[in-house]
Structure 1
Amino acid sequence: MLRGQSEIRMIWLMSLMIVAISAWFLSFPLLTYVCGFALLMSVMHYVDAIQQPAQALGEQRLIAFRATSKVPLYLSSIIAVVGGLLDWGWMIAAGAAAWIFFFLRWLRRLEQYLGQIQQAQHFLPQPASSVQPDIPPLPFSATAEATPVPAPNLVQQIKHWIFDGNPVLKTAISILVIGIILLLRFATEHWQLSLATKLIMVALSSAAVTGLGYRLQQRNRSFALGLEGLGLAALCLTLFFAYYNAVIPNLLIASGCFLLLMGLTLWLSLRQQSVELALMAMGMAYLAPFTLPVRDATAPEFIGYYLVINIAVAVLSSLRPWKFLNQIAFLMTVLVGGSYAFVHGSDADRDLMTVLILAHAAIFIWLGFRFSQLLAQQDLDKFKLKPALDIGLIFAAPLLAYSSLYVLHFQDTAWQAGLSLLFALLFAVLYRFSRHHQTVQLIAHSYLSLTLIFLALIPPILLPAEKSVMGWAIEGLLIFLLGLVRQSKISLYLAMGLLVVAGLSSLYYLVELIVFPRAMFWVLCLSYVGVVLLSNSRLQFQQQLSSSMIGFQCLLMLLATTMLLVLLQDEWSGELSAVLSLLTLGLAYWAVNEILLRRQAGVAWLFSKWSGLVPLLLFAAGIIMLRMQQGSIVWASFNERLLFAGAGIILSLLWLRPLLGVRTEKEWVSAGTLLSLLLTSLTLLPQQPYISMVILPLLFCGWCYWQAQPDWQMFWQARSSLLLMLAWMICSQLLSQQAFHGYLLPILNPFDLVSIAMLVGFLWMLSLQVKAGLDRSMAAVLMVLSLLWLSSYIVLRGLHVYVGTPLNELALWRNGTVQLSLTLLWVSLAFVTMSWASRKQLRSVWVLGGSILVVVSLKLVLFDLSHIGTLTRVISFLAAGAVMLIIAYIAPMPDPEQPVERSPSE
């Protein structure tokens, strides 16, 4: 697992480097800077992931690690990014050089620490139980015989064939096959001999290689099989080139030659008991049509060609239980053949394609039955259909074949019902035949299930037009209920399939019908909701839900809520239709939530409920966007405003109840609750949306702080809460159009007071985030930047009101008054922070103040020296230097050996 994570990290780092270098050469510098910044952060995270287990191991050996702050690394990264955005090469170089220096220092300390751990481990005595004698295991021991060897799956078999054995031989065969393809294409276009002569020469050479391989099988089996596979593949390619270049005049002769070639492959594979030879030959046969240089095959030609190959596979599998050959045949037919037929098919080929699909279905139904029968005969006690591909041969093959035929005859109800009846009768006969044989009882039950499945498809098919969608949905609901009562997984999956068919069919009728089919969508929505409610109504029903079923129910609630919003708006009329629809669904969710909680609904209902609340949140946000005019929210009436507030409160309570959801998935609950509170809060002061939107979230934050309960603190430890707070702090200062509404003095105005309250809440949240695992250095950087950002804008707004300096313009960087004011503000904040930390002996807080001084020093060097006048430059430097002297005298760094060091929140 750790190795896989390491490989993924290295792939990620290499990808970032490749994208950054490519973007630089393609003249996309912004993408280069973004990838470079991501690379720096990823490298730091990578090294930190190595440091954490090393520290844990060192604590066991009582070895202390000298902590290295990552604040300089973050600051260096920010300097480099800012330099890139301003197109200052020297600033990028300075930031990169500083980052490399601090990063190497971090690595050096980590290397020294790992050396200490290794040295301590060398001198520790090893426990006696861990010392094992170096005795090789006996080749025929009882333990080895008792240990069952699990059968390899398809992926393991492919890895074994590629990497084990003789890799040089396999590489040579692959290269030679490519060379034969290129030779055939070149011969077709350039050689002066007749095309028939060229292809006969290649065919004779391929036959000679096959014969040589057969002669060498007694001396070197792997090499001989490789030669035979190469020769058979070349013969197959030559046959294709001959037919599609008209050397072989008609399809009948070409088919006869191909049957002879498949017969030769079968004979060689069976005689030598070699599945590898069959895999090589059949694999090249499946891929041969894509090597043609002249024209594409039609869909019937392509599917008919695959039918011949699958017949050969069926013969092989009827005699030998070669599981991997069956799986490859199924996957190639479904994925490659199905995709090709979908792209190149036409209405004129429908009848012929129907026959070919039925033929393929018959082959794979036989393959599933015969293969499982052979395995069961070998070991009846251990026989289980665990792999998904084995189950696919029994269930997926007929279901996919019927789905293809259903689409081909979509307008013909008689065809659809007749085909369903035909499949039902077929599996009924197979069930009747197989239930008397003890070795295939599991297969017999599968055939019975398939019989019932195809019989269940007939009633909805016979219903006309959009009523068939209602039939699919209602039948799916009833079968799902039956599956829950009978505890039948087959019934549950069948019901899921019927509901999917109902949803897809509804989209077709939505486009085709002139009138909006309200009744169809009402039945579909209620069926979707009914499935979710029934699944969570009883504890025994909840225990049957797997993770895939829970995910499916989340999708059902998402779709059902979206459709219900549309339907309810169609039912209501007037300016309150949107808000009434939102409120109605919110109340319905509240009632259902209370009922299911009383019935002990668990995690499955929580995830389904949250998925259903997502469309409601998006719909509420859409209402707000439609009411937005010139930076303010204009409600149509007071009733609309009041109803929207009620709907928002209900949504907030739905996200929070039960509080168990915070422990289950705090990211979902935190994001949903805060967004709901934010939308509700917009109804309080619609003329000042940036102030209004955070009133309720701030009150909720204060309430959680005074509660001092772990669950409420966990709510604010979510990363989604952190991102939402950061988004408000950035966007509100840059985009607010009512920042000066009610402005009296700096700080003594609504916008500044709200900004300060958000800063306090953000700092408290960061202290909780550190407890939840957020990197301390990252938290320190965010604290410093948020403090500087909000306090600077308070000063900038005051200067804009009283002095007339620019605001949110690039000109403020060249304004001497602005730069002087920011310098004085930042050094004052550093002075207050560091002096208080020095008195309280809080070393971490003192480091934060020191970080502010670093930012001030960078600002003096980068901006004040080049963009402002002489007097302000002198005052900036003198004031900053004087305050730094005072700090150095009265606020020295606290002693690192203090026994107790509290967090900044304390």
Structure 2
Amino acid sequence: MIVWAGMIGALIGWIFADFETWGMIVGGLIGLVAGLGLRRGVRSEVAQATRALQAQIDALIARSATESARPVEPIQAPVDVAPPPAPRAATGAAAVIGAAEPDQAAPPSIWATSPREANAASARRDRLPAAPAEPGIVAAAVTAAVTAAKDWVFGGNTIVRVGLIILFVGLSFLASYATSAGLFPIEFRLALVVAVGIALLVVGFRTRESRPGFGLALQGGGIATIYLTLFAAAKLYTLFPIAAAFVLMIVVCALGCALALLQRSQALAVTAFAGGFAVPLLLAGDGGNIVVVFAYYTILNLAILFVAQQQSWRILNLLGFFATFGVATLWGTTSYQPADFVAAQGFLIVSVLIYVATAILYSRETPGRFSNVVDTTLLFGPAMAGFGLQVGLVHDRPFGSAFAALGFAALYLGVAGWTMRYRRDAFRVMNETMLAIGIGFVTLAVPLALGARWTSAAWALEGAGAFWVGMRRARWMPRMFGILLQMIAALIYLGGVSGTISAIPLANPGFVGAMLIALAALATAWWLRQPPQHSGSRWAKAYAPIEAMLGAPAFMVGFTFWCLAWFAEIIRMAPPRAAGLTIAPVFDPGLQPLLMLTAFGGSAWVALILAHRWRWPVARLPSYTMLIALVLTFTVTAGVGRHVLHTPDWALWVVAILLHIWMLYRNDSETAATDHHALAGIIHVGGVWFATAMLADVLWTAIDGARLWSTAWAEVTLLFATVAVLVALTWSAGRAMRNVAAPAEPKTGARWPLDRHAMAYGWYAAVPIAVLVYLGAMVTALISSGNAAPLPYLPLLNPVDLTLGLSLAALELWRRSLLAAVPMPPGAATLGNPVALAALAGLAFVIVNTVWLRFAHQMLGVAWNGGALLDSVIVQTGLAILWTSLALALMVLASRRAQRSLWLVGAGLLALTVAKLLLVDLNAAGGGARIVAFIVVGVLMLVVGYLAPLPPKPTVVEKGLTT
């Protein structure tokens, strides 16, 4: 713990000190201190937690010692008998607990016949070394690396291996020194080095049987030495032509291959080829001919291919692959010139072919449990490294990268086709891998050659094909790859969405691209109707539940892109017909949202029909979203100033609404009573609100046509629409709710949709409408001046007063219908509470007062603003008389019905009138108005006192007594 804390502290200090050494030191010291404190804290917590247990253990030990001290008859047992050592030494409480367990303890007479022997055994156990702690992840990685190095150096004949390394370095130094000092002719020096290499070969070959490790090491060193000498003689000193050097190198390479195959030594082959690949790197100079290097590496790679036909030596194959493509990449990024294209292209093609063939040979010679083993590095490596190098060569050529991808696709698909034809079972894993790589290159070629929309379309079809193959072969990985490819295709299409410019309808990238993606996703959704089969592996079983949930999302993605295809066609731009003209939309931009709505509704209608005929429930989902499309389209069209009754908008609206109603009817009729009933109810409720907005838009259209926006007709438009809808709901759904049996069951005597959605219409849809009516009536009464132009103003017969009266009547009618419903909707009982009645009474009071205010404004000329109305003597006098009249009516009605509470309300209003007379009218009113107000109010109060006395309290009967 202390060490790890110190390491973490050093790392943190190093980072915070901007990677300075002092930060590492300070952080490490702080970490050590923190680790020490943490360890002490942990030990203290452990000791405190086990204190009670330790006391019990101490008592147990003391009792055991006491019992052992008693004189007992000894049992004959071997003197050297001792407790068997535990697999791991335990100290402290753990050791005592382990010794005290009944199933692990031996009889006391055998384990310890006396306290002295018990103490001696305990001391021996305490001296046992503790088991080392398991290393962490970083320590394990470092340990593995050090172990691998030690195994190479110290495995086998360590002295020979180290000596060869030193000898090789010494010969290099000797050659360099001799060259710089000019001690001997270059020919002599090179001949001496070759002689040393030949000597190593001869000695190693002669000792191959008596001392195999020694002999193989010497042979590898000899081959590397000869490689080095030949390349130096030809490249650095030009002692003989390059062609001769290559011939000699071919001989050496063949000799190394022969020796390795003869002795079946992978180590010798790796040593020989490692030396051969290292020669150009060690002695490379500036201005060399790259063709020579490529030809040399090609010879080495052909030799590796020859060896691969005889032996499946994976390390040798990987050595050649990494050396070849590593050197090619290094040269390509630092020294490539366009003049080297032919040589580089030829070398790249040959190298890729060699190592693909090597991978095939390795798989052929290496059987596995289910099929032959596949070297994934040699399958994917040439594809990835080779394609990267190829793109670097042809990136500046038209469609160069696309053709490169197609070339690699042809190679891998061709190999897969050949192996599937002749070795299907043995090469099953390799065939699938080759197919995946080939399909991947085909997939990659599309975006490199085509635009984003065509690319997405091609990838979507490819993904559907991969899913189909995986389904037919019960393989989950191709199916997952197909779905991921379709997702990528969809994202690519969405990322490149823009206006399509094409003179050809339908046959353009915008429409075709989205349509192909849609068809691929819909096909996948169709295949996912039933869970596909899988191989039964652990990964397949883990993926199966996820795949089972993808049917509905796949269908919705397909349906969405189906609609996007039509949307792209609707917003398509036509190219200019003549020079100087600009592009123009094919359809009127204001009409485009309605065309999209119609296309969406028609697509959802077709999907619903298919759901019914093909028994495909997921195809019903779009029909449930039609209302959302209607609302969005209405919002967009209203935002740009287009109304429902515009031509030809009204025709498209009729079609869309009829499609929506038809789909609602089919869903309600063809699904069970409990299937999606809540969702259907929500749609019906939302449809009522949408109809309210549509009706308001129709009325606004009429207002706009008559130029009445500055009159009261415009002010009551929305209120009248909500009142009309509330009255319709009360008249239709209210009657149906009186015989409700269950919300989800059809109602006898009612037609669709009230036969099963009466509660949704009469309660859930009507509550927000009623709230809007109440608030709208309150606001309209307070702000509307009653301008009835072009008609003259008539009290109580103007649009404002009539609409307000209808609002109050509609609210009361709706309230009574709900209270009469059987059963009563949840929460509807609150409408019978005094609070609800008081709210309606308050609205009625406001409406009656504003009727007088509008009369004073329209007929008596009082300005329509708060200050003028409050300061008007006529208005105040009229309000006093009005309030007294209302109080009289309430009190007379209450007296006749013996409703004491209603009489008290009237009395309160009368008291408020008197207070107003004394506080407002007495000071602000003129002589005549004040007289009229006081006289009228006084007379009315007398009438109240005569006609409406206070009703008596209700009679209460309790325990036989009457009070």
TM bin, normalised by shorter chain, reads 0.3 to 0.5
Q: Could you state the TM-score of these two structures normalised by the residue count of structure 2?
A: 0.39
Instruction: Report which structure shows greater RCO (CA 8 Å, sep ≥6).
Output: 1
